Structure 1
Amino acid sequence: MKKASLSFSKPKSSVVQDKDSKVFNIVNVFLLLVFTVIIIVPVWNIVASSFASADALAKGNFIFWPSEISTDNYQRVLSDPSMWKALVISLGKTALGVAAHTAFCAIMAYALSKKNLRGRGLYSTMGIITMFFSGGMIPTYLLIKSLGLLNTFWVYIIPALFSYYDVIILMNFFRDVPDSLEESAKIDGASDWDVLLKIFVPLSKPALATIALFHGVWQWNDFMTAKLYVTERGLYPLQMKLYEIITQSQAASQQGLNAAIEISTTSKGIQLATIVLTTVPILVIYPMVQRYFVSGMMLGAVKE
C-alpha cells in the first residue's frame, strides 16, 4: 500500500505579494541609486574643483578630477589670518549657541508640558504666533540696536535662544515621560530642577540631540546675522568670509576681461576650498550625534 504524499504550495495571493515586493525593492533601489548619484556627483565636483589649478579651473573641462592638481587654493585659505579668526568665531558661536538654545528650549518645554501651569494656553498662543509672524527686518534691527547687540559676539547667541518649533518637539517628548517617574522623584524630595536635569534630560537625549544638530547646522551656515548686524570684520564668521569672496569674484567681472578672468578664477578656487573646509566639521560631527536618533529609550522604564 503506497503512502500518500502531501505537497503544500503557497496560496496564489502570497505569490503575487512576493512578486510585488521584489518589484518594489528593485524600483526602490534603482531610485535611491539615482538620487545618490545626483547628490554625490555635484559634491564630488566641488571637492575636485577645489584641488584644481587656476588653468584647469579656467578651462573647466572635467567632472570627476582636474587635469592639473594643485593645493594653492587651500594654502591661500589657510595662510589667511582672518580665516583662522573667522573659524574661531564660527566654532564659538556654534558651540555656545547650541548649548544655550537647547537648554533654553528644554526649560521652556518642561514648563509648558505641565497642565497645572497658569497661563499655559496664553503662552502657547504667543509661541505659535511667533512661528507665523515676525516684526520684520527693520523693527528687528532697531530692537537689536536698542539692546546694544550690534557689533558684539552675543548678537549670534541671544536672538537665537528661542524657537517655539523646537519647544513643541521637546514638549511633546516630555509629555511621554511617565508621571510615575516625576511623582516618585518628588516624594524623595527632588525639586523641579532635579526632575528636569536627572530624569527628563537623560530620557530625552534623542530629541535634544536632534534639536542641537539642527540648530548647530543653522548656526554654522548662518551669515545673514553678520551681514545685518555686524560691521566689525574681526567678528565675521567663516560664512561671511565666504560671502566676501563671492562678492569679490562678482566685482572682478566689472574690470578688464583678462584681469577679470584671472581674479574670478582665483576667487572661485578659494571659494570652493572654503566651502569644503566649512563642510568638513558638519560631516565629522553628524555621525557622532546620529546614534542618539533612536526612539523608545523609555520603553520598559515604568510598568503601569
Structure 2
Amino acid sequence: MKLNMEDRMLQVVVYTALALLSFVTFYPVWNTLVISLNEGSDTALGGLTFWPRAFTMENYQVVFKNDQFFQSLWISVARAVSGTFISILFTALLAYSLSKSELMGRKFYMMLAVITMFFSGGLIPTYLWLRELHMFDNFWVLIIPGMVNVWNMIVFRTFFRGLPDGIEESAKVDGCGNYGIFFRIVMPLSGPILATLSLFTAVTLWNEWFNASIYINNQQLIPIQTYLINVINSSSFQEQMAQITGASGAMNAFRSTVTSKSLQMTTIMVATLPIVIVYPFVQRFFVQGVMVGSLKE
C-alpha cells in the first residue's frame, strides 16, 4: 500500500521514538558490561561510554574466586526452580477450584483472595509469624510465604473458565476424577499461560532480595541478589576485597586495577545473565499467554 506524506512522517516519528526508547533501555546494560570489562583504575578516570579503554577479565576472575558468590548463585537457582514449580502448582490448583461454579462459597473465597492483593499483615506481624513457625535461617522461608500469587491465580482462573466444558465432561464419562482432569487434560492444554506465568514467577523469585535480608542470617543461604546488595552496600572497598580475595591476599595483584565500582558492575552482570538467557526460550508464548489475562468474564 502506497503511503502518503502524513503516513511517512508518522512512521518517522514512531521509529525515531522507538529507537530512542530502545537506546535508553539498552544503554545502561551495555555500559555496565563495558565497565565490568574495563580496568577499574581506568574506569575511575571517567569518560567510559561504549567501549572498554583498558580491556581486562580481572574483574570476573576476582568475582569467580569467591566461593560465597557460587553458593548464593546455587541458592538462587534452587529457589527459582523449586519456587516456580510450587507456586505455579498451588496457584493453578486454587484457580481451577475457583473456576467451578458448583463450588460452595466460591465468591466468598474469591473475595478473600482479592483482599490480600490490596492489604497485607505488614512486615512486623509477618516477621513474628515466621519466627513462631521456626522458619528463620531456613531455605523454605524464601518460597513458602509467597507460594500462591493471587494475580496469577486470577489469570489462571480466566483461562480455565474459557476451556470447553465438553472436554471435562468427556473425561468424567471415561471415569476420570477431578485430579485426573486437572493434571492429564487441563494442565497440558495450558502451555502458553503456564510458560508465561512461570517466567514471571521465576523472574520475581530471582530478583527478590528483601526477604532473605530480613529472615536469613546464615550467609550460606542468601540468594545472589541479596549477596549483590551486600556487595553494593559494603562500607568500603577494602571490606569488599577482603571478603572476596580472602585474608591471605592471594590476588593482591588485582587490587591495583579492580575497584569497588568495577566489582559491583561485574557482579551485576553475572547475577543478571542466567535469567536473561531464559527469556528467548519462552518469548513465543508471551502474546497468547498475556492476552488471556486481558479477557473479562
Q: Give TM-score scaled by structure 2 length.
A: 0.87
Mapped pair 1:293 → 2:279: no
Q: Larger Rg: 1 or 2?
A: 1
- Quick one: which of 155, 167, 190 aligns to 1:181? 167
Aligned to 1:299: none
Deviations 1:177-208 (A, max 9, x none): 01011111111111111111122112211111
- Structure 1 distance, partners of 2:66, 2:113, is 43
8 A contact 1:57–1:265 mirrored in 2: no
Compared CA separation, residues 95 and 56, structure 1 to 2 (3 A) = same
Secondary structure of 1:231's partner? coil
- Structure 1 distance, partners of 2:126, 2:263, is 33
The one-letter code of the counterpart of 1:220 is W
Question: Highest relative contact order (Cα 8 Å, sep 6+), 1 or 2?
Answer: 2
Aligned to 2:243: none
8 A contact 1:246–1:271 mirrored in 2: yes
Q: State the shift of 1:265 in Å.
A: 6.6
8 A contact 1:221–1:239 mirrored in 2: yes
- Structure 1 distance, partners of 2:257, 2:84, is 36
- Quick one: which of 220, 231, 237 aligns to 2:206? 220
- Structure 2 distance, partners of 1:140, 1:54, is 42
Instruction: Write the mapping of 1:1-304 to structure 2, written as runs, cut at 5 A.
Output: 19-248=5-234, 250-251=235-236, 266-295=259-288
- Structure 2 distance, partners of 1:23, 1:182, is 53
8 A contact 1:54–1:266 mirrored in 2: yes
8 A contact 1:252–1:264 mirrored in 2: no
Unaligned residue ranges in structure 1 (runs of 5+): 1-13, 255-261, 297-304
Give aligned-pair identity as a percent: 37
Q: State the shift of 1:133 in Å.
A: 0.2
Deviations 1:223-281 (A, max 9, x none): 10110100011101111111111111x44599xxxxxxx89972221111111111111
Higher mean C-alpha displacement, 169-178 vs 18-27: 18-27
Q: Give TM-score scaled by structure 1 length.
A: 0.85
8 A contact 1:252–1:263 mirrored in 2: no
- Structure 2 distance, partners of 1:287, 1:205, is 16
- Structure 1 distance, partners of 2:8, 2:132, is 63
Secondary structure of 2:49's partner? coil
Q: State the shift of 1:131 in Å.
A: 0.2
Compared CA separation, residues 263 and 239, structure 1 to 2 (3 A) = farther
The one-letter code of the counterpart of 2:195 is A
Q: State the shift of 1:158 in Å.
A: 0.5
- Structure 2 distance, partners of 1:253, 1:279, is 25
Unaligned residue ranges in structure 2 (runs of 5+): 240-254, 290-297
Compared CA separation, residues 118 and 224, structure 1 to 2 (3 A) = same
Compared CA separation, residues 20 and 192, structure 1 to 2 (3 A) = farther
The one-letter code of the counterpart of 2:149 is S
Secondary structure of 1:242's partner? helix
Secondary structure of 2:187's partner? helix
Higher mean C-alpha displacement, 266-275 vs 42-51: 266-275
Q: State the shift of 1:24 in Å.
A: 2.9
- Structure 2 distance, partners of 1:270, 1:251, is 12
Q: State the shift of 1:22 in Å.
A: 3.3
Higher mean C-alpha displacement, 86-95 vs 236-245: 236-245
Q: State the shift of 1:20 in Å.
A: 4.3
Compared CA separation, residues 292 and 40, structure 1 to 2 (3 A) = same
8 A contact 2:209–2:225 mirrored in 1: yes
Compared CA separation, residues 97 and 194, structure 1 to 2 (3 A) = same
- Structure 2 distance, partners of 1:252, 1:88, is 25
Secondary structure of 2:120's partner? coil
Secondary structure of 2:288's partner? coil
